[in-house]
Structure 1
Amino acid sequence: MELTEAMRSVGTCRFYRPDPVPDEVLHRAFDAARFGPQGGNRQPVRWVVVRDQARKQALADLYLPIWKAYLGGIGDGTVNVGAMPKTVQDADHFAEHLADVPAILVVCAELDGLHPTDHELGRLSVVGGASIYPTVQNLCLALRDQGVGSAITTLLCAREPEVRELLAIPDGFITAAHVTIGYPAKSFPRKLTRTPVEDIVSAETFDNPYFAGASV
């Protein structure tokens, strides 16, 4: 698959067929994903592939109350996601059927392999994720190339102690995301809705559009 097509259609898959994803497909995806950039080539990312039904159910049982609280916030207006009602409805279906996905990949990261340079700025620290999430996106693209859908969620990271115990994750590692994978029950999206380039790129200063009036 051509790279740009994969990037434009990887989407978030919330409906899966029950067919298992073969190990060789997973291996090819992990093999490509590991080349994602990370600071100092420390390679902090580790993966736990969860296929066991009891463990998937345990993860789903941890996830669902967090999602329902989030969904309640959307309903009463205290959480603003900017999503269409259909998207929220699909996300609720995803949460209700999380244990039914073919596999859940738990993204772990070694703390000693991260180098956050923004933790003293008095705001949320995000820089450490630069050594994690490019690898995760690489995996999703490598799966998309093989016709496998995926969905990244970080809600379950709030229950990290329980997840660590369930999956025997050692000290010194954090959970950074959970990725559901499987063959899509519906077709991949042909067109994802995203903000136009003209609205997100600035020239020299934040308030000066780079492509204002450009014809591209």
Structure 2
Amino acid sequence: MGLREAMRTSGAERTFTEEPVPDEVLARVLDDARFAPSGANAQPWTVIVLRDPEIRRGVRELSVLGWREYRAQVKAGLRPFAPGPDGRWHGPGVDLAEAAATPQPMTFIDNLDRAPVLLVLCARLTALAVADVDLDRQSIVGGGSVYPFAQNVLLAARAEGLGGVLTTFLVRREPAAAKLLAIPADHAIAGVIALGYPQRRATRLTRRPVEEFARLDTFDGPAFPGPASRGTTL
């Protein structure tokens, strides 16, 4: 499979068959993903491959709580955990304790521990060059040394005929998850990646055209024309 096809068909896949993923396949996925870029080539990631049923169940239970908090904000008409226009977070807008105690059924999260492959992605904090750490807004730069690896995992999985998705609900219960998974204090949880053979055939995704997000010279500059505007198709 070519890179272009993989990028255009690697959507968030949350439904898997019960067919197990051979260790040889997962090993190839991780072997390809390790070539992701990172600041100063620090490669700050550690991947925990979850096999133990009790640990998997614990990760699922903690993730469910994060999902409930997320869903409660969506139902309230909010963008979950999003900073305000000033770039800072001003609170969830809902009672998070109440949200976590209120069931919000979702087949994928409620059965997360049944995913054929379950990976917890961790980042070594001391290896991140967080250039925006002192700006008066939400910091995002540190993730640039971690999430390209996560995307590489998903693309490499797609090339192997797998589907997958990255979730971050577990981060909402990081202290408990760190204890469960024996994660050291100088590491953070970046997310959980679920992989498996998809129940449905991958299709091309629908996304905003280039003209809607690319600008010339300044943020308010004219649109940079994409292939459609140039009379070409891919």
TM-score of the aligned structures, taking structure 1 as reference length: 0.90
Is the contact between residue 47 and residue 121 of structure 2 (CA under 8 Å) also seen in structure 1? yes
Residues 114-129 of structure 1: matches in 2 within 5 Å?
114-129=128-143
Distance 2:159 2:187 in 1: 29
Match of 1:161, SS? helix
Letter in 1 for 2:195: I
- TM-superposed CA distance for 1:62, in Å, is 0.6
Letter in 1 for 2:161: G
Residues 73-112 of structure 1: matches in 2 within 5 Å?
73-79=73-79, 92-112=106-126
1:51 maps to which residue? 51
Distance 1:193 1:93 in 2: 23
- TM-superposed CA distance for 1:185, in Å, is 1.6
Residues 12-161 of structure 1: matches in 2 within 5 Å?
12-79=12-79, 92-161=106-175
Instruction: Determine which of 206, 211, 224 is the counterpart of 1:193.
Output: 206
Letter in 2 for 1:51: R
Distance 1:96 1:39 in 2: 35
**1:35-76 CA distances to partner (integer Å, 9 max, x unpaired)?**
100111111111000122211111111111221232222223
- TM-superposed CA distance for 1:180, in Å, is 0.6
1:171 maps to which residue? 185
**1:56-106 CA distances to partner (integer Å, 9 max, x unpaired)?**
11111111122123222222323479xxxxxxxxx9221121121112100
Distance 1:14 1:61 in 2: 17
Instruction: State the superposition RMSD in angstroms.
Output: 1.8
Distance 2:204 2:74 in 1: 25
Letter in 1 for 2:52: D
Distance 2:143 2:34 in 1: 15
Letter in 1 for 2:149: T
Distance 1:187 1:156 in 2: 28
TM-score of the aligned structures, taking structure 2 as reference length: 0.83
More helix by share: 1
Identity of aligned residues (%): 40
Which aligned runs of 4 or more in structure 1 are off by greater than 6 angstroms? none
1:204 maps to which residue? 217
Is the contact between residue 64 and residue 169 of structure 2 (CA under 8 Å) also seen in structure 1? no
- TM-superposed CA distance for 1:13, in Å, is 0.9
1:85 maps to which residue? none
Distance 2:21 2:51 in 1: 10
1:3 maps to which residue? 3
Distance 1:78 1:137 in 2: 27
Distance 2:172 2:66 in 1: 8
Distance 1:204 1:78 in 2: 32
Match of 1:157, SS? helix
2:231 maps to which residue? 215
- TM-superposed CA distance for 1:214, in Å, is 4.1
Letter in 2 for 1:118: D
